[in-house]
């Protein structure tokens, strides 16, 4: 039979006495405390590792080349780059042709600040930064037939192309850095202003020295896909010194051709005014034609441009508009 519980005393305000807990050995106390520390270390471990966790890096996809070269183009470029002095070939565009733009190749010693480098099968080709918008995505090929040998470009950016296949036009875009001077098949906002700005830009561009400038123009002519006769005519133009003029008759005599054929080649000169067709005048030392146009009564926009180019080189004229100089005959 269980003993009855003790009744509390009246007016007893003291707390009841506590029973002493049984004492445990020190080893047991330490063992009981060690498991309590393990959850703390486990819980603090992930918290300490959370700041170290970083996002996985995205996998970078390889960028597509700005221009693709066919095996035939690679072999031709490799043979052209096999020279005693290391050179690079730059592909660009120029404002010429009835559709506005035409491809242009030249040798350079080093790339420009923003030129794009295309390397394929050990061949390195530069793309002019100003022409990158017009050329990007193009396939460059080398074609040979019984008539000529030339580079062929398959350009997906072309909006309109000339029937001759030598010039093209791309859509206007604020990203385009090269002016698109359209001739014949398009419109310009201000044709006269654009033509004047274009002329001033070309005329005022100085060359480092005459010899280096001549070598550059000769390489441009050699790399072009024009006829052999046109290349001969344009090469002869590069030998006319600055500040001197020759005549259509003397130039045709030097080339063994007719003045009309020489005039047609000058009309198709895509490298003017760097390749100076403006230094060729008529036999009577009158200005003659320029850019395929002959003036009426000694006046005309193209004639004024030719006169301006000659005056900048120090050529003087009399009251009748004739050149005050003797014809240059350095080839003869």
Q: What is the pLDDT of residue 155?
A: 84
- Domains annotated for the chain, with CATH where assigned, are 68-169 (2.60.300.12), 215-313 (1.10.10.10)
Q: 5-9, 73-77, 279-283, 328-332: lowest mean pLDDT where?
A: 5-9
pLDDT one-digit tens code per residue, 101-144: 788 888 888 888 778 888 888 888 998 877 777 788 889 999 88
In the chain, % helix, strand, coil (3-state, to 5) comes to: 35, 15, 50
> Strand 138-144's sheet: what is its strand order?
67-69, 138-144, 149-154
Catalytic one of 98, 162, 178, 277? 277
Average pLDDT, the chain: 72
CA torsion through residues 157, 161, 166, 169, sign: negative
For 135-177, write each residue's pLDDT tens digit: 888 899 998 887 778 888 888 878 777 655 566 666 644 333 3
Question: Which alpha helices (H) appear in the chain, and where do they start and end?
Answer: 26-49, 71-81, 132-135, 191-203, 210-223, 228-238, 248-255, 259-267, 301-312
In DSSP terms, 107 is beta-bridged to 89
Question: Using one digit for the tens of pLDDT, what is the confidence trace for 32-79?
Answer: 555 555 555 555 555 555 666 677 766 655 556 778 899 999 998 988
Q: How far apart are CA 178 and CA 133, in angstroms?
A: 9
Q: Which of 291, 261, 279, 264 is nearest to 329 (CA)?
A: 279
- What band does 208 get if pLDDT is binned at 50, 70 and 90? very low
Under the banding of pLDDT at 50, 70 and 90, the label for residue 183 is: very low
The 10s digit of each residue's pLDDT in 236-250 is 888 888 889 999 989
Q: Give this prediction's pTM.
A: 0.38
Q: Are 87 and 140 in contact (CB under 8 A)?
A: no
Indicate whether 187 pLDDT > 90.
no
Segment 305-315 shows an average pLDDT of: 87
Q: What angle do CA 208, 232, 139 make, to 5 degrees?
A: 75
- Residue given tokens 């040798």 in the structure block: 107
- C-alpha–C-alpha distance, residues 186 and 128, integer Å: 25
Torsion sign, CA atoms 296, 301, 305, 308: positive
Residue 238 annotated to the active site:
no
């Amino acid at each position: 039979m269980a003993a009855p519980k003790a009744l509390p005393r009246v007016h007893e305000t003291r707390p009841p006495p506590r029973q002493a807990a049984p004492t445990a050995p020190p080893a047991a106390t330490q063992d009981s405390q060690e498991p309590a520390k393990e959850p703390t270390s486990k819980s603090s471990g992930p918290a300490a590792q959370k700041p170290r966790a970083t996002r996985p890096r995205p996998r970078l996809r390889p960028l597509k080349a700005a221009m693709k070269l066919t095996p035939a183009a690679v072999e031709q470029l490799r043979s052209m780059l096999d020279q005693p002095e290391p050179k690079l070939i730059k592909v660009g565009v120029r404002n010429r042709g009835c559709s506005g733009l035409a491809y242009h190749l030249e040798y350079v010693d080093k790339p420009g600040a923003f030129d794009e480098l295309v390397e394929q099968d050990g061949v390195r080709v530069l793309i002019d930064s100003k022409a990158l918008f017009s050329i990007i995505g193009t396939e460059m090929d080398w074609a040979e037939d019984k008539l000529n040998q030339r580079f062929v470009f398959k350009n997906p950016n072309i909006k309109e192309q000339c029937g001759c296949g030598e010039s093209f036009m791309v859509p206007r875009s604020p990203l385009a850095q090269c002016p698109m001077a359209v001739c014949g098949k398009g419109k310009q906002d201000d044709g006269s202003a654009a033509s004047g700005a274009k002329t001033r830009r070309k005329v005022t561009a100085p060359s480092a020295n005459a010899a280096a400038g001549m070598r550059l123009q000769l390489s441009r002519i050699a790399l072009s896909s024009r006829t052999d006769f046109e290349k001969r005519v344009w090469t002869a133009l590069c030998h006319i010194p600055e500040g001197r003029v020759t005549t259509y008759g003397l130039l045709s005599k030097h080339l063994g051709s007719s003045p009309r054929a020489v005039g047609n080649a000058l009309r198709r000169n895509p490298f003017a005014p760097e390749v100076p067709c403006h230094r060729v005048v008529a036999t009577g030392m009158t200005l003659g034609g320029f850019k395929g146009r002959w003036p009426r009564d000694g006046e005309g926009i193209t004639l004024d441009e030719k006169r301006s180019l000659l005056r900048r080189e120090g050529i003087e004229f009399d009251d009748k508009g004739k050149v005050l100089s003797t014809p240059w005959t350095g080839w003869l």
